[in-house]
Chains A and B, each alone.
Chain A
Amino acid sequence: MRRLKRWGVAAVMAALACGVAVHAASRPPKFMYQRLQLPNGLTVILNQDRSTPIVNVQLWYHVGSKDEKPGRTGFAHFFEHLMFKGSRNVEPEQHTSIVASVGGQANAYTNEDTTVFWQTVPSQFLPLVLWMEGDRMATLRIEQDTFVREREVVKEERRMRIENQPYGRLNEIIYEQAFSTHPYRHPVIGSMEDLNAATLADVRDFYATYYVPSNVTVVISGDFEIDQTINLVNQYLGRVPKALKPVPRDIPREPPQKAEKRVVVEESVPLPAVVVGHHITYDGHPDAYPLHILAKVLSDGQSSRIYRKLVYESGLALTAFGQANLIEHPNLLYTVAIVNPGQSPAAVEKALIAELDRMKAEGVTARELQRSKNQFARDYILGRETVQQKATHLAHAEVLHADIATADGEFDIFQNITQADVQRVAKTYFTPESRVVIHIMPKGPGAGGARPGGQP
């Protein structure tokens, strides 16, 4: 589903600068990897790490919900499910149980830009995993009855994740209000009506279009022999036929928003929520890095400005959070606050906008900037402990930045950001015209923002 960004980044071990005024970040070790391309177009990245006798294999299919056409939403995620429904040599539902039978773990996820299949297994089972992945890339079984049955599982997933959770529709509401044209407008899980309308031919066409080697990056991270692994990759993935046509990238662009957008929606939520967001740029754009710093100071965690102001100091909100959703195409930076009983959504909105305005007027302090850099350094280091994390960072750089070097290079980009950079991006993006304000109000009898605390 919509996921927080992970950043794969590092730099060479360097002397630690322990100045008087600045507490500089520790440097993580540099990634060691090899990158190769097979004749069928498949990209392969190998990251040898011998610390534990296990191996993680990830296949990133560069297809997500933003590749879906109107009336056919939810296909990318639905396909993630279908990939477990058997192929020429693997029976339906056997993929996961075969991996489990050797002690491994396998799963998959889908977001706006990619569909990712991963498994971690004891090292000796690397051939098994590559064989199964090749099998389903080339010969997936797409049959009417599995297709119909799996659709019911996806509907349960939607009920569980979204409809049956308080505030479960928050993301959907934000995106359907903020976007008019770009497919980021619709949720990754898609519309159940669209899935009901899907035909077997649609599904087969989606597979033939996007599930082709030239649209896939496979990353192998862990304890393996490099030459042997290159042979295995050639043997089991190199034989997948080359695509007959190029992968389409005709995704409609979002026209610039010309005026502030304000909406009030009613939902079954216990307390009102206020969203203030702005359209921003995409992952990898030079502005993206200061925007990450800005979002961290503004809205990440309990020491963030909006949490301190709205929750801690004024008591306006039960909680307040936000993020810069920097992904492949231009997206949003948004802040959310859940309105405390007895407080008004209008006051909460005003307080959120005041913090965004303050960012334009004052930027961040030197200490806030350094603190954010240190937090980023921490997240890089702690986010690269496992072979799965390492593979994810490499794949992210390769697939979404189209430049694997960013997996190591971004560390320095972050550490070189200045206060002026942060203030500049605040001024660039936090304009009234790009603002989206949403009030989500409880519906039903007796509901309302000013509901007193205590028992009904």
Chain B
Amino acid sequence: MRTFATAALTLTVLTTLAVAQSSGQWPREFPPRPLEPRPVSFPPFEVKKLANGLTVVLVSQNEQPSVSVRMIVRAGAAHDPKAKMGLAMLTATLLDQGAGARNAEQIADDIDYLGGILSTGAGTDLSYVNTIIMKDDYAAGLAMMADVVRRPTFLPAEIDRQRQQALSGLKVAAEDPESVAGMVIERLIFGFHPYGMPGSGTPESLQSLTRQDFVEFHGRYFVPNNALVAVVGDISPADAMAGLEKYFGDWKQGDVPPFTPIAPPEPTRRVIIIDRPDAVQTEIRVGHLGIPRKHDDFEALDQAVKILGGEGANRLQQVLRSQRQLTYGASADLNSLKFGGAIVAETDTQTASTAEALRVVVDEFSRIQREKVHDAELEAAQDYAVGHFPLTIETPDQLATQVLNQLFYELSVEELPRFRERVLKVTPDDIQRVARWFVRPDQLSVVLVGNAEQFVASLKGAGFGAFERIPIDQLDILSADLKKQ
């Protein structure tokens, strides 16, 4: 039993097995053996299609008397037209601010009165509308959701109101070191590829958006052949389908224009300091291009990055927090999207240790690329992934999300129950191969958001002599040198 083997691995932390002496009668002992494992099965689900092309996922689970309906539309911030950054985000925000015969206030009041939840939003590749409703209100919930998805009114007063909110939000985000660091590292890695552009827009782009823009974006992408919906919870598949047919069956198909983003640029290896003189901590981001989600090496590279900075392993956390107390948290993530991806490490540290922490992060990229991982380290990471799997299929929403993700990225849903095999087939040699190929310490971009005056002198000694320093209020994400002109 593989999982047991790793539990036994922890025994190596015990040096002796002896009878208790000093601390009362408390024994010195090995951890107990696990019980008989219980079978883990992926609960049954169905994938169907309405005649108009709407893909449907059905999962029946009746522990709680609620039903969750999650819809995703294959268009997100990456689909913002040039100079119209923020369009997908604001379009999604406006969906429930007036739709069908209801105004914004009525929608909010109606869903609360039903004791449901309605949420809308946009990510990089997709937009979503989620509804959770008590099972007796399935029809009422779908009726409201159909209005929101299909018949948003985009009233000028609501556009102005939401635009103002978004502009105010940008002001707050512009002073938030985490969001500034995240925005700049994406811009450095992806350049002017859509994934490098700020999905929440800029003050100028938000000001330029017209009602026509929203109507067109919605009309172009919010069509059934460009959408997927999952119905999960305390409802039979037949009732779930009947509701969808009634409220989405007459939704008209559309011609979705092909999406062909430009290629990301050559790596620039820039070190950008966003100067924030009142900061007590420096936000650190280090990263470069990765791979899209649908890629033969995704599983192996994902495990390599998890060893670098993911759950179940995380060398960055071990060195930065446990060994050196430089941070509260450190991690690395393979963020793989539809049309590309990035490997980004992040941490924060007090100002004085900025250079030291940055050096450690970059060195760990080099180590994972240079040295083969130990069997035990990979096994630990894999045991985490395999053991963790049942924790990721506990709730109906988790199940639905897993199925929707496979469909969205055009991966096989039959793979889902074979999770264990997929993880365990990766070997240390696979990790070394993908780490050598895809991890490139010489191509890293770096963002430091903090009090520059207090750490620039130490950067050179840490091997980062060349950097650009930009006062936080002079940052312009769209200019070549990232500075306001």
- A residues with a Cβ closer than 8 A to B are 16, 18, 23, 25-29, 51-54, 88-91, 93-94, 97-98, 100-105, 120-128, 131-132, 135, 138-139, 149-150, 152-153, 155-157, 159-160, 163-166, 223, 228, 236, 239, 241, 268, 270-271, 301-303, 308, 311-312, 315, 318, 340-341, 367, 370-371, 374-375, 377-378, 381-382, 384-387, 444, 453-456
Q: In the complex the two chains form, is B65's CB within 8 Å of A27's CB?
A: yes
Query: Which residues of A sit under 8 angstroms from B117, Cβ to Cβ?
Result: 378, 382
Query: Which residues of B sit under 8 angstroms from A102, Cβ to Cβ?
Result: 3, 6-7, 34, 383-384, 387
Residue of A whose beta carbon sits closest to that of B326: A156
Q: In the complex the two chains form, is B322's CB within 8 Å of A93's CB?
A: yes
* Across the A-B interface, the 10 shortest Cβ-Cβ residue pairs: A103-B387, A374-B115, A53-B38, A103-B388, A127-B32, A26-B134, A378-B115, A124-B34, A303-B108, A152-B325
Chain B 261-286 interface mask (CB, 8 Å, partner A; 1/0): 00000000000000000111101000
Q: In the complex the two chains form, is B384's CB within 8 Å of A100's CB?
A: yes
Stretch from B9-17, B211-219, B246-254 contacting the other chain: B9-17
Distance in Å from the Cβ of B75 to the closest Cβ of chain A?
25
Q: In the complex the two chains form, is A312's CB within 8 Å of B161's CB?
A: yes
- Identify which of residues 61-97 in chain B touch chain A, using a CB-to-CB cut-off of 8 Å: 63-66
Summarize B's interface: helix, strand, loop or mixed: mixed
Complex CA distance for A149 and B325, rounded to whole angstroms: 7
17 A-B pairs whose Cβ atoms sit less than 8 Å apart in the complex: A25-B115, A26-B115, A26-B134, A28-B64, A103-B3, A103-B383, A103-B385, A103-B390, A105-B391, A124-B38, A125-B34, A149-B325, A160-B348, A164-B279, A303-B109, A318-B172, A378-B115
Given known A27-B65, A101-B380, contact A166–B176 (CB-CB < 8 A): yes
Complex CA distance for A448 and B10, rounded to whole angstroms: 57
- B residues with a Cβ closer than 8 A to A are 3, 6-7, 9-10, 13-14, 20, 23-24, 26, 28-40, 63-66, 105, 108-109, 112-117, 132, 134-136, 161, 164-165, 167-168, 171-172, 175-177, 203, 278-281, 283, 311-312, 321-322, 325-329, 348-350, 380, 383-391, 393-397, 473
Q: In the complex the two chains form, is A164's CB within 8 Å of B280's CB?
A: yes
Given known A29-B64, A308-B105, contact A138–B311 (CB-CB < 8 A): no
Q: In the complex the two chains form, is B380's CB within 8 Å of A123's CB?
A: no
Residue among A89, A94, A126 having the largest count of chain B Cβ atoms under 10 Å:
A89
Complex CA distance for A120 and B391, rounded to whole angstroms: 8
Complex CA distance for A336 and B26, rounded to whole angstroms: 51
Which of the residues B3, B23, B322 comes within 8 Å of A122, measured between beta carbons? B3
Distance in Å from the Cβ of A87 to the closest Cβ of chain B?
9
Residue among B64, B171, B278, B389 having the largest count of chain A Cβ atoms under 10 Å:
B64
Query: Which residues of A sit under 8 angstroms from B396, Cβ to Cβ?
Result: 385
Query: Which residues of B sit under 8 angstroms from A29, Cβ to Cβ?
Result: 63-65
Complex CA distance for A239 and B23, rounded to whole angstroms: 13
Which of the residues B31, B175, B311 comes within 8 Å of A131, measured between beta carbons? B31
Query: Which residues of A sit under 8 angstroms from B391, Cβ to Cβ?
Result: 52, 54, 103-105, 120, 122
**Supplied contacts A156-B325, A270-B171, 14 more A-B pairs, CB within 8 Å:** A26-B136, A54-B390, A94-B10, A94-B13, A100-B384, A101-B10, A124-B3, A166-B176, A241-B24, A301-B112, A303-B112, A341-B168, A378-B116, A384-B64
Q: In the complex the two chains form, is A128's CB within 8 Å of B34's CB?
A: yes
Complex CA distance for A230 and B248, rounded to whole angstroms: 51
Q: In the complex the two chains form, is A124's CB within 8 Å of B281's CB?
A: no
Q: In the complex the two chains form, is B114's CB within 8 Å of A159's CB?
A: no
Q: In the complex the two chains form, is B175's CB within 8 Å of A270's CB?
A: yes
Q: In the complex the two chains form, is A125's CB within 8 Å of B113's CB?
A: no
